[in-house]
Chain A
């Protein structure tokens, strides 16, 4: 079955970086993109960015430009999201979701989420 399996919870200090992985299975990885969405405690959903698994094109949320990098490894069907210079307000559950190959759109398959806690 189609699924996205994310890496485990992380605890980081302010100023550090975190890299979350998202391993896809059950479909042709390079025929889709991956979007990353985060959700701070008790808050709504925030779109972080999108990457095409076909050609590596990316589109990042403006507020995260310069701090976030999304990559893929097609040999292992895995997507990665790295967030740098972490702050306390980056504490959130981070989700990866299957998206369109050419542009961000509907998210039809989601990972279970990775909790990232930023605390000194």
Chain B
């Protein structure tokens, strides 16, 4: 059974960099059938797509965040990571990592989510 687990600091100061890692177990992050994504949900709000990374290492970033984003893959550790620089209170959210099926498939496995609060 595939499992995803986010990890990282729950509190980040304004203007600093938010860093999260998603550890994948029960399956290979190098599979060509899937890609991996980050989604966030501000308190009491809906879901926002942050970006995604493919087995090849190629990435897609949401243009609204692109200048501040870095998503990377570490196949040796079977994990992928998210960095958001220059954070503000607007970046306070629950951050989810998820697996997406290539083609018409959806996000079929999700991490449990981790709350990141931006505050001094």
The answer to whether A and B belong to the same complex is no
Spell out B's residues near A (CB within 8 Å).
Answer: none
